[in-house]
Amino acid sequence: MSHSRRSAWSTYAALAIGLLALPFLLQAGIGRSWVRIIDMALLYSMLALGLNIVVGYAGLLDLGYIAFYAVGAYVYALLDSPQFGLHWPLWAVLPIGAACAGLSGVLLGAPTLRLRGDYLAIVTLGFGEIIRIFLNNLNEPVNITNGPQGICLIDSVHLGTFSFSHNHTTMLPGLTGPVQYYYLFLALTLLVMFIALRLQDSRVGRAWAAIREDELAAAASGIHLRNFKLLAFAMGATFGGLAGGLFAGFQGFVSPESFNLMESVMILCMIVLGGMGNVYGVVLGAITLTVLPEALRMLGDWQLNHLGHVIVDPNDLRMLIFGLALVAMMLIRPAGLIRSRRHQREYAGDRP
Amino acid sequence: MKPILTLDKVSVHYGKLHAVQQVSFVIQPGERLCLIGANGAGKTSLLKAIAGLLPASGSMHTDSVAITRKPPHFVAAQGIALVPEGRGIFKQLSVLENLQLGAWLRKDTAAVQTDIDNILQQFPRLAERRHQRGGQLSGGEQQLLAIQRALLGKPRLLLLDEPSMGLAPVMVNAVFDSLEKACRQGVALLLVEQNARLALGFCQRGLVMESGRITLTGDSGSLLDNAQVQAAYLGL
Q: Where are the domains of chain A?
A: 1-31, 35-260
Question: Given this model, what pLDDT does residue A253 score?
Answer: 94
Give the CA angle between residues A162, A70, A165 to the nearest 5°. Answer: 20
Please state the rounded mean pLDDT for residues B89-116: 93
Q: Which residue of A has its CA nearest to B82?
A: A220
Q: What percent of chain A has pLDDT over 90?
A: 54
Question: Given this model, what pLDDT does residue B217 score?
Answer: 93
Indicate the pLDDT class of residue A348, thresholds 50, 70 and 90: very low
A352 has a pLDDT exceeding 50: no
Q: What is the spatial distance between Cα A347 and Cα A335, in angstroms, rounded to a whole number?
A: 9
B107 touches chain A (CB under 8 A): no
Q: Which residues is B190 bridged to in the sheet?
A: B33, B159
Mutate which of B67, B96, B101 to disrupt the A interface (most A C-beta within 10 Å)?
Answer: B101
Contact call for residues A283 and A45 (beta carbons, < 8 A): yes
Whether residues A223 and B88 touch (CB distance < 8 A) is answered with no
What is B5-88+155-233's CATH topology?
Answer: Rossmann fold (3.40.50)
A120-134, A264-278, A307-321, B155-169: lowest mean pLDDT where? A307-321
Touching A: B residues 157-216, CB under 8 Å? none
Please state the rounded mean pLDDT for residues A7-23: 89
pLDDT tens across B40-98, in order? 889 999 999 999 999 999 999 999 999 999 999 999 999 999 999 888 899 989 999 99
Contact call for residues A62 and A124 (beta carbons, < 8 A): yes
Whether residues B101 and A218 touch (CB distance < 8 A) is answered with yes
Q: Which residue of A has its CA nearest to B88?
A: A217
Please state the rounded mean pLDDT for residues A67-91: 93
Q: What is the spatial distance between Cα A115 and Cα A143, in angstroms, rounded to a whole number?
A: 35
- Total-model pTM: 0.88
A232 has a pLDDT exceeding 80: yes
Please state the rounded mean pLDDT for residues A206-222: 94
Indicate the pLDDT class of residue A188, thresholds 50, 70 and 90: very high
A1 has a pLDDT exceeding 70: no
B152 has a pLDDT exceeding 90: yes
Residue A271 CA, distance from chain mean position: 10
Q: Which helix (H) or strand (E) covers residue A184, if one does?
A: helix A177-200
> Cβ contacts (< 8 Å) between B135 and chain A: which residues?
346
Closest Cα of chain A to B67: distance in Å?
A: 14
Cα–Cα distances in angstroms (integers) from residue B2 to residues B27, B63, B75, in the given order:
9, 6, 18
Higher pLDDT, B202 or A175: B202
pLDDT tens across B117-126, in order? 999 999 999 9
Please state the rounded mean pLDDT for residues B155-166: 93
Indicate the pLDDT class of residue A341, thresholds 50, 70 and 90: low
**Other residues' Cβ atoms within 10 Å of the Cβ of residue A314:** 19
Please state the rounded mean pLDDT for residues A270-275: 88
Q: Half-sphere exposure of residue B3, counting CA atoms within 13 Å on the CB side? A: 15
> Cβ contacts (< 8 Å) between A206 and chain B: which residues?
97, 100-101
> Cβ contacts (< 8 Å) between A226 and chain B: which residues?
71
**What is the number of H-type helices and E-type strands within chain A?**
13, 6
B102 touches chain A (CB under 8 A): yes
Name the nearest CA neighbour of B154 among B235, B221, B76: B76
B228 has a pLDDT exceeding 70: yes
The contacts of residue A281 (CB under 8 Å, 6+ apart) are A274, A275, A336, A337, A338, A339, A340
Please state the rounded mean pLDDT for residues A136-152: 89
A5-9, A136-140, A232-236: lowest mean pLDDT where? A5-9
Whether residues A224 and B73 touch (CB distance < 8 A) is answered with yes
> Cβ contacts (< 8 Å) between B77 and chain A: which residues?
222
Contact call for residues A244 and A73 (beta carbons, < 8 A): yes
Q: Find the chain A residues whose C-beta atoms sit closer than 8 A to any C-beta of B.
A: 206-207, 209-210, 212-214, 216-226, 342-343, 345-346, 348, 350, 352
Residue A222 is nearest to which of B53, B73, B93, comparing CB atoms? B73
**ipTM of predicted assembly, 2 dp:** 0.89
Q: What percent of chain A has pLDDT over 70?
A: 96
Whether residues B97 and A206 touch (CB distance < 8 A) is answered with yes
Question: Given this model, what pLDDT does residue A351 score?
Answer: 41
pLDDT tens across A236-264, in order? 999 999 999 999 999 999 999 999 998 99
> Cβ contacts (< 8 Å) between A113 and chain B: which residues?
none
Whether residues B101 and A210 touch (CB distance < 8 A) is answered with yes
The contacts of residue A111 (CB under 8 Å, 6+ apart) are A123
Extended strands (E) in chain A? 80-81, 86-87, 151-152, 158-159, 162-163, 253-254
Whether residues B77 and A216 touch (CB distance < 8 A) is answered with no
Whether residues B104 and A221 touch (CB distance < 8 A) is answered with yes
